[in-house]
Chains A and B, each alone.
Chain A
């Protein structure tokens, strides 16, 4: 794909400057007709009642093959959601682009931006097939974000707007064993528990520069995602050269500390940050905040006594004495953390946090 959107944007600027959009104002150096994204999007009419109405995908929507302008992306470290796999896409209207603010804040999206996330399982029993459960959209509508969840039908031919929440039972094969998941499709309110900033206003969580700053294998070759967003005209070109970047929580070449802090950032920081749902608890778990070890709960006494053996939120060297590990390891609804988005234990995530806690050397007073 060539950097068509840059050109489109250029055209738009020319149009503004000349107070006209007539063809004969196009500079002669433009050698290609701008390719138009075929996405169907009317800001006043969204959310549509079906996913296919947006025309985000070429051919059968189950293939999730994006049309021109629907750009796939990935996060360096993703949220755990009951072992669901995810495909992510971003789309913006022709004349709009996002702006970098800070490494650890979501980019400032323009009105009309659509963040698309499809949740699916591979290895669904009995025939080890792929099953898409839902596609969630976050749409920037003027100044505010709205949520639109599309639940897929059994035939995998369409997904229907459903913001009321529901359950889907999924049986997958995991580590050569059958594994049952009572998957929760969230209601709009449940989305908002995590996806909110100060004053309870809705926000996206994932697309922060620090979690996007990685190579992605596009159809025309690998490229840094932020650079790609700039190239296609989705992001203003004011990206600093040094971005404080999270690491892939699974990358064993990285330190336990960075992996654990990256994991806590995406799984926990949306509630455990200033002005968020749980800011009254004495931990701050964003990747930036946990540069200060006390913010992650190291040697901090818990306010809620789950049991007497849990002496600190993180008790160095002692995962079995640490509230944070205990809650990640729990599937009891009133004890487990995160308190939504999962019903089963993330064994690999728990193992990472356990190894990190047991590697800490601080002596608590």
Chain B
């Protein structure tokens, strides 16, 4: 704005002290200030602004108040970007209303050269505005400012949704990490961790929160005999927080990924107290997860290790988590990211090839020309003959194209084009080894680079990259540092960063079906008129052998809207832990745009069971227990799946002419226990290692399941 104003300066009168007040009430009766007059601010000693209306979050200093009453509707520019102000650092808040009841209308800290403020806002005749200068950054230098009035410009493109920053009772600070249910009512709660407390704003069904700081914590025993009993947790979630009900008591437990180790906080039987479990193992934690790695119905945990092979904690179902690192015949024989120097930053568990088995992607980062920075994709090969799940790294296989050296801290996985397969946006945290990438899943295990023309600003970097549908239009968006790429459903995106949330945990803090964000501040999504549906997946493995983990983590949820050529199918994986640092909702959320009905919700559980709810209510939070809407075995029973022999001693030969890509098979005994579960690799299944008896063989491919009884002799 400098150029406009310089020519005016010679004819301006400099007004010292005019209209300058120390309080709102004084300003309300003082002479209002006007455009095109240079005012000098000096000194500061008045009331601070009641709100921070600027882009910087630092606390508000002493203020100096001016009143401004426009005589028409204008775009008002409050400018300090003047030569005489060089080196100064003013901050301004513009509020409207009456004293004691003011709300932000505009503000700025660094909009001009260097640290000079230039606030631009639309003002309307009949309103009173208070311009409050803030002494946050400087205290002795006087500075000048000038107002200019111009026509109101055409509005910027309409944001698909807007967000409002809401205050919550949680302590502020860097331990603000979670937006996920903690008290078993499936409403997302706001979690802030401190060393001696778990601080939760419990969402109330009626709206609002009930804040509790839980200090009833049984800390770990002392390290050495004679040491005092610890009164703080060993590791804070400095690098990540994950939540999941690993002991299946109905209350989610927490995992703190710390600088040099991992702390588990196990919720008590009523969720009102916690027990700390902290192992001695050195873990430079990065992204963490709860996930049923060995698919035994008990939730395990996984933590990315920055400088060593990744670690995981297998749950024996009797309240014990056993630590493993790297390949281990008693754990995961293949390991899950085994490079000795690590580089593991952002893991995410997804089923990229729709075979019903959870795979894992690792976003990696490390300086230098080293293999530790090469991203990895670990494909789940299913159970081996010993009943252990085996994985293999396939990121560099022909056509997969995910073994990328870019410096990344997370990848956002979702079906951005609604073709039934999870695509990935790998976000660069630094540009030194290339910018962010969008890779389309071709549905045959390969990926193609669709970055060009997708609408990304490739000069931007982000540590947090989280896929979710923020505007409920049925197309998945990407929460990126300081903004949202709103998806168009065709692998193109529109970026909005004005008044968008910062990064954080994604969930629904006011149960309105629109996703909010929490990371120190609570960014409330103001919503629009699109429709939605939410699903809580309640696995029943804690009651019935062979069923899934209690959170349903790893389930594939699918919904269908529309019909005929307009039918739209959307998919989600239930995840504990995405992005880099935060923990979001364990509820599955879909926007459905203007659709007024949903054909079905289908849940493919990790157990292999499929529940389908036909014609569910929209704009509703459905709580679905595993096997309560199941397509019964009888519905899928056929008599021509197994060609021969039946009964069998060793092999079942299947009745397919061609191998089904992505086909998955499972063998379940009469008690419902999962005995075999793997991807079909031939038209022949080896059952020589299972005990004699009667079983069901189920083969699922492209969403269709066929089941047949067989006898093992």
Contact = CB atoms under 8 A, between A and B. Distances in A.
Interface of A: 164-167, 169, 184, 187, 189-190, 192-193, 198-200, 271, 274-282, 303-305, 307-309, 311, 317-318, 320-321, 332-335, 339-340, 363-364
B284 interface: yes
Interface string B588-602: 000000000000000
- Which secondary structure characterizes the binding site on chain B? loop
Give the most central of A166, A271, A321, A333: most B CB within 10 Å. A333
A317 B223 contact: no
B238 A332 contact: yes
Contacts of A200: 341, 368, 370, 372
A333 B368 CA distance: 23
A198 B430 contact: no
Q: Which DSSP category, helix, strand, loop or mixed, fits chain A's interface?
A: loop
Interface in B99-127: 109-110, 114-115
Contacts of A321: 89, 115, 137
B554 interface: no
Given A200-B341, A279-B432, A320-B137, A308 B368 contact: no
A192 B432 CA distance: 23
Question: 3 smallest A-B Cβ distances: which pairs?
Answer: A333-B238, A279-B367, A275-B368
B57 A305 contact: no
B572 interface: no
Contacts of B71: none
Q: How large is the interface on B (under 10, 10 to 19, 20 to 34, 35 or more residues)?
A: 35 or more
A334 B174 contact: yes
Interface string B365-387: 11111101000000000000000
Contacts of B307: 189-190, 192-193
A275 B367 contact: yes
Interface in B21-68: 55-58
B697 interface: no
Interface in B523-579: none
Given A166-B223, A192-B307, A277-B367, A318 B282 contact: no
Contacts of B481: 305
B58 A309 contact: yes
Contacts of B368: 198-200, 274-277, 279
A307 B367 contact: no
Contacts of A311: 110, 115
B430 A303 contact: yes
Contacts of B709: none
B260 A190 contact: yes
A145 to B, nearest CB: 15
B109, B234, B260, B581, most chain A CB atoms within 10 A? B260
Nearest to B86: A363
Contact of A303 (B238, B280, B429): B429
B282 A190 contact: yes
Contacts of A189: 282, 284, 307-308
Contacts of A198: 368-369
B258 interface: yes
Nearest to A198: B368
B441 interface: no
Given A280-B365, A281-B367, 9 more contacts: A187-B282, A190-B260, A279-B432, A303-B429, A308-B57, A308-B109, A318-B89, A332-B174, A333-B258
Contact of A317 (B87, B258, B308, B366): B87
Interface string B278-313: 001010100000000000000000000001100000
Interface in B205-239: 223, 227, 234, 236, 238-239
Interface string B429-445: 11111000000000000
Given A166-B280, A199-B368, A280 B109 contact: no
B367 A280 contact: yes
Nearest to A309: B56
B259 interface: yes
Contacts of B463: 304
B482 interface: yes
Contact of A364 (B114, B227, B282, B432): B114
26 contacts: A165-B282, A189-B284, A190-B260, A190-B282, A193-B284, A198-B369, A274-B368, A280-B366, A280-B367, A282-B432, A305-B482, A307-B56, A307-B57, A308-B55, A308-B56, A309-B56, A309-B110, A311-B115, A318-B89, A318-B115, A320-B137, A332-B173, A332-B238, A333-B258, A334-B238, A340-B260
B383 to A, nearest CB: 32
B201 interface: no
A51 to B, nearest CB: 19
Given A184-B260, A303-B429, A334-B239, A277 B366 contact: yes
Nearest to A364: B114
Nearest to A303: B461
A39 B280 CA distance: 34
Interface string B334-367: 0000000100000000000000000000000111
Nearest to A311: B110
Contact of A304 (B58, B173, B284, B461): B461
A304 B409 CA distance: 11
A281 to B, nearest CB: 6
Interface in B243-294: 258-260, 280, 282, 284
A251 to B, nearest CB: 30
Which of A271, A281, A303, A363 lies at the interface centre, i.e. has the most chain B CB atoms within 10 A of its CB?
A303
A192 to B, nearest CB: 7
Contacts of A281: 367, 430, 432
B165 to A, nearest CB: 13
B369 A275 contact: yes
Contact of A164 (B110, B282, B370, B433): B282
Contacts of B365: 280
A317 B372 CA distance: 38
B57 A334 contact: no
B482 A164 contact: no
A50 to B, nearest CB: 19
B407 interface: yes
Contacts of B367: 271, 275-281
A304 B502 CA distance: 12
Contacts of B259: 333, 339-340
